[in-house]
Structure 1
Amino acid sequence: MHQVAPTPAAFKSVGALSGRVRVPGDKSISHRSLMLSALAVGESRVEGLLEGEDVLATAAAMRAMGADIKRGDDGCWTVQGVGVGALLQPAQALDMGNSGTSTRLLMGLVASHPISATFVGDASLSKRPMNRVIEPLSQIGAEFSASPGGRLPLMLRGICPAVPIEYRLPVASAQVKSAVLLAGLNTPGITRVIEPVPTRDHSERMLRGFGADLMVEQEADGTRIIALRGEAELRPQQIVVPGDPSSAGFPTVAALIVPGSDVVIENVGLNPTRAGLYEVLRQMGADITYLDQREVGGEPVADLRVRASTLKGIEVPPDVAPSMIDEFPILFVAAALAEGRTVTRGLEELRVKESDRLSAMAEGLRAIGARVEETEDGLIIDGTGGEPLAGGATVATHLDHRIAMSFAVAGLAARDAVTIDDMGPVQTSFPIFTDLMRSLGAELR
Structure 2
Amino acid sequence: MDVIVTPTPVLKGEIGALSSKNYTTRYLLVAALAEGTSTIHFPAHSEDSDAMRRCIRDLGATLEEDEEKIVITGFGSRPKDIKELNVGNAGAVLRFLMAIAALCPEVTFVNTYPDSLGKRPHDDLIESLGQLGVEVEHQQGRLPITIRGGQPKGGKITVSGSVSSQYLSALLFLTPLLAEDSEITVLHDLKSKVVVGQTLEVLSQAGIVIEASEDLMHYRVPGRQQYKAQEYTVQGDYPGSAAVLAAAAVTQSDVTIHRLPVESKQGEKAVVDVLKMMQVPLTHENDIVHVQGNGHLKAVEFDGDAATDAVLAMVAAAVFAEGTSRFYNVENLRYKECDRITDYLNELRKAGAHVEEKQAEIIVHGRPEGVEGGVTIDAHYDHRVIMALSIVGLRAKAPIRIQDAHHVAKSYPQYFDHIQALGAQVEWV
Instruction: Provide TM-score, normalisation by structure 1.
Output: 0.90
Q: Quote the Cα distance in structure 2 between the aligned partners of 1:307 and 1:271.
A: 25
1:348 maps to 2:331: yes
The answer for the alignment partner of 1:57 in structure 2 is: 51
Counterpart position of 2:414: 432
Aligned match of 1:405: 387
- Counterpart code for 2:36: G
1:306 to 277, 287, 291: 291
**Alignment of structure 1 residues 54-133 onto 2, 5 Å:** 54-72=48-66, 74-83=67-76, 85-91=77-83, 93-111=84-102, 113-120=103-110, 121-123=112-114, 124-133=116-125
How far has the Cα of 1:357 moved from its partner?
0.7
Tell me, yes or no, if the aligned pair for 2:82 and 2:107 is still in contact at 8 Å.
yes
Shift of 1:388: 2.0
Specify the alignment match of 1:38 in structure 2: 32
Once residues 26 and 56 of structure 1 are traced to their aligned partners in structure 2, the CA distance between those partners, rounded to angstroms, is 13
* Native 8 Å contact 1:164 1:184 kept in 2: no
1:118-267 to 2 correspondences below 5 Å: 118-120=108-110, 121-123=112-114, 124-147=116-139, 149-167=140-158, 169-171=160-162, 173-194=164-185, 197=190, 198-200=193-195, 201-218=197-214, 222-258=215-251, 260-267=252-259
Distance 2:131 2:327 in 1: 35
Q: CA deviation at 1:405?
A: 1.1
CA contact (8 A) 2:40 2:234 kept: yes
Give the Cα separation in 2 of the matches to 1:95 and 1:229.
31
**Contact 2:132–2:157 under 8 Å retained in 1:** no
1:419 aligned to which of 382, 391, 401: 401
Contact 1:172 1:199 in 2 (8 A): no
Structure 1: gaps spanning 5 or more residues: 1-6, 293-301
The residue matched to 1:144 in structure 2 has which SS? strand
User: Which letter does structure 2 place at the counterpart of 1:144?
Assistant: V
1:396 counterpart (375, 378, 384): 378
Aligned to 1:298: none
CA distance in 2, matches of 1:194, 1:142: 18
Task: Kindly indicate whether the alpha-carbon contact (under 8 Å) linking 1:397 and 1:422 is maintained by their aligned counterparts in 2.
Answer: yes
User: How far does residue 42 in structure 1 lie from its aligned partner after superposition?
Assistant: 0.9
- Residues 343-389 of structure 1: per-residue CA shift (max 9 Å, x gap): 2222221111000110121111111111111222222110013x222
| 203-212 or 302-311, larger mean C-alpha shift | 302-311
CA contact (8 A) 2:324 2:365 kept: yes
Q: Does 1:363 align with 2:355?
A: no
| Aligned residue identity for 1:174 | S
Q: Residue 268 of structure 2 contacts residue 310 of structure 2 at CA under 8 Å; is this kept in 1?
A: no
- Which of 317, 327, 330 matches 2:313? 330
Shift of 1:191: 2.6
In structure 2, give the amino acid aligned to 1:78.
V
For residues 284 and 412 of structure 2, the distance between their equivalents in structure 1, rounded to whole angstroms, comes to 22
Amino acid at match of 2:128: P
The corresponding residue for 2:301 is 315
Task: Give the aligned partner of residue 260 of structure 2.
Answer: 268
Maintained 8 Å contact 2:161/2:168:
no
- Distance in 2 between residues matched to 1:175 and 1:57, nearest whole Å: 16
CA RMSD, 1 decimal: 1.7
Percent identity between matched residues is 28
Please tell me the residue identity of whatever aligns with 2:168: K
- Give the Cα separation in 1 of the matches to 2:283 and 2:413: 26
Q: Paired residues, what number?
A: 417
Q: Distance in 1 between matches of 2:105 and 2:70?
A: 26
| 2:5–2:399 CA contact under 8 A, matched in 1 | yes
Structure 1 residues 265 and 61: CA distance shift in structure 2, 3 A: same
CA contact (8 A) 1:108 1:180 kept: yes
Q: Tell me the distance in 1 between the aligned counterparts of 2:398 and 2:211.
A: 54
Change in CA separation of 1:314 and 1:393 when aligned onto 2, cut-off 3 Å: same
Q: TM-score, normalised to structure 2's length?
A: 0.93
1:3 is aligned to: none
Native 8 Å contact 2:194 2:266 kept in 1? no
Contact kept in structure 1, 2:249 and 2:275, CA below 8 Å: no
